[in-house]
């Protein structure tokens, strides 16, 4: 058990964004957190990554209480995240987007400060699907198409050499071919030992690679189980179909 979420609560004004959510994550797993819009998925990620503080409850990373720590401290400990709306460093070339995490204390500690950051940055970009010699690597990141921005997000998280990857709707807004090229990449990452928690809106896509799924609705954990159990659960279907029928 690498991560333990314990009775997490978070309110925004009068809205219960996260209402008593608990679950555990084992090392090397892909966990998919799914649910309709406004279910509290992104809030959950923001809570784990420290961007917002919970009102109540605990988050334990490898037995250590990380509740209320700053985002940079949590990243430093080995939980890296991506953002749903890509947040590249617009004015800096793509490659420098990846150099930034490579300059973090965590990476320096893990690598002993050896090696050229630029070289490693290109390796990581290649890993997430950039062509080694493409113009995109030198262009300001703000000019890249959406699909590549999502890859920059992933590359930035990977550059941190994390133990847990928190992926916030990595697949949203991607075309079908892009999705089919990223899914195997995630499986490869899992095989390399990363623990992945992915928040997704589209259940079908992630059910193919997830080991377990957690369903959120209006801040409450509805159920947890294997993709098959979730996909056939009536309550889940009701939530999705009742709202917009995207499961089918």
Partner 1 sequence: MYEALVIILIYGTVLGFTLALVAIGLSLIYGVARIINFAHGAFFAISAYSLYYFFVSIKLNLILSIFFSLVITALVGGALYRIALDRIRGMELNEMIVTLACAIATIEILREIFAPAPLGVPTFIPGQIYIGTYIVEMQRVLIVITSVISLILLWLFIKKTKYGIAMRAVAQDEDAAMLMGINPEFMSMLAMMVSAILAGFAGIIIAPTQTVALENAWYALLNGIAIVILGGLGSLWGSLVAAFIIGYAEVAVATFLSSHLKTVIALIAILVVLVIKPSGIFGKHRELEERV
Partner 2 sequence: MAKGRERIERLDRGIRARTRDMYALMSYAEIIYLIGPRIIPPILLLVFPLIISDPYWLLVMSYAAFYGVASISWDILGGFTGLVSFGHALFIGFGGYSAAILNAWYGVPIYLSIPLGALIGAGLGTLVFAPCLRTKGAYFSLASLVAPLVMIGVIYASAEILGGEEGIYGMANPFNDVQWYYIFTITLLVSFLVIRKVVYGKFGLILQAIRDNEPAVKASGINVVKYKLITLFISGVFASFVGALQAHRLAFVGPTFFNLLHSVSIIAMSTLGGIATIVGPALGAYILVILTEYLRILQDVRMLLYAIILIILLIFRPEGLFRYLERIYNTFERKVVEE
Binding site for partner 2 (CB under 8 A): 49, 51, 70-73, 75-76, 80-83, 87-92, 96-97, 99-101, 103-107, 117, 156-157, 159-160
Q: Give the binding range for partner 1 (CB under 8 A) out of 41-49, 61-69, 106-114, 204-212.
A: 41-49
What's the min distance (Å) between Cβ of 110 and partner 1?
26
Element containing residue 22 per DSSP (H, E): strand 15-25
In the chain the first and final C-alpha atoms are separated, in Å, by 33
What's the min distance (Å) between Cβ of 45 and partner 1?
9
Out of 30, 41, 69, 83, the only residue in the binding site for partner 1 (CB under 8 A) is 83
**What separation in angstroms does the CA of 90 have from each of 23, 93, 169?**
36, 8, 20
Look at residue 221 and give the partner it binds from partner 1, partner 2, none, a contact being a CB closer than 5 to 8 Å depending on partner kind: none
What's the min distance (Å) between Cβ of 180 and partner 2?
27
Q: Side by side, which strands form the sheet with 164-168?
A: 79-81, 164-168, 195-200, 30-34, 212-217, 220-225
Q: Which is nearer to partner 2, 92 or 223 (CB)?
A: 92
Look at residue 3 and give the partner it binds from partner 1, partner 2, none, a contact being a CB closer than 5 to 8 Å depending on partner kind: none
Contacts of residue 135, Cβ cutoff 8 Å, sequence gap at least 6? none
The rounded Cα 151 to chain-centroid distance in angstroms is: 12
Is 82 a binding residue for partner 1 by CB under 8 A? The answer is no
Specify whether the CB–CB gap between 68 and 60 falls below 8 A.
no
What's the min distance (Å) between Cβ of 192 and partner 1?
27
DSSP 3-state of 176: helix
Look at residue 89 and give the partner it binds from partner 1, partner 2, none, a contact being a CB closer than 5 to 8 Å depending on partner kind: partner 2
Out of 20, 23, 51, 62, the only residue in the binding site for partner 1 (CB under 8 A) is 51
What's the min distance (Å) between Cβ of 76 and partner 2?
5
What is the distance between the alpha carbons of residues 118 and 96, in angstroms, rounded to a whole number? 8
Is 13 a binding residue for partner 1 by CB under 8 A? The answer is yes
Look at residue 136 and give the partner it binds from partner 1, partner 2, none, a contact being a CB closer than 5 to 8 Å depending on partner kind: none
Is 42 a binding residue for partner 1 by CB under 8 A? The answer is yes
DSSP 49-111: TTSS--SEEEEEETTEE-TT--HHHHHHHTEEE--SS----TTSBHHHHHHHHHTSHHHHHHH
133: exposed, middle or buried (Cβ count in 10 Å: 0-12, 13-18, 19+): exposed
Look at residue 138 and give the partner it binds from partner 2, partner 1, none, a contact being a CB closer than 5 to 8 Å depending on partner kind: none
Q: Which residue ranges make up the site for partner 1 (CB under 8 A)? A: 12-13, 42-43, 46, 51-52, 83
């Amino acid at each position: 058990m690498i991560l333990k979420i314990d009775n997490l609560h978070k309110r925004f004004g009068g809205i219960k964004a996260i209402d008593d959510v608990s679950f555990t994550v084992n090392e090397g797993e892909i966990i998919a957190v799914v649910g309709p819009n406004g279910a509290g998925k992104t809030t959950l990620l923001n809570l784990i990554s420290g961007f917002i503080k919970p009102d109540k409850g605990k988050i334990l990373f490898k037995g250590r209480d990380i509740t209320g720590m700053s985002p940079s401290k949590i990243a430093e400990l080995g939980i890296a995240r991506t953002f749903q709306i890509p947040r590249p460093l617009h004015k800096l070339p793509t490659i420098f987007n990846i150099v930034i995490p490579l300059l973090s204390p965590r990476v320096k500690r893990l690598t002993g400060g050896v090696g050229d950051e630029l070289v490693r940055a290109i390796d990581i970009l290649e890993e997430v699907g950039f062509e080694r010699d493409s113009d995109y690597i030198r262009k300001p990141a703000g000019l890249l198409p959406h699909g590549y921005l999502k890859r920059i997000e992933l590359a930035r998280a990977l550059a941190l050499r994390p133990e847990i990857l928190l992926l916030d709707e990595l697949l949203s807004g991607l075309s079908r071919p892009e999705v089919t090229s990223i899914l195997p990449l995630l499986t490869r990452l899992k095989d390399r030992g990363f623990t992945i928690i992915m928040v997704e809106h589209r259940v079908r896509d992630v059910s193919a690679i997830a080991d377990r799924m957690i369903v959120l609705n209006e801040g409450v954990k509805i159920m947890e189980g294997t993709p098959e159990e979730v996909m056939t659960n009536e309550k889940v279907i009701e939530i999705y179909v009742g709202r917009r029928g995207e499961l089918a």
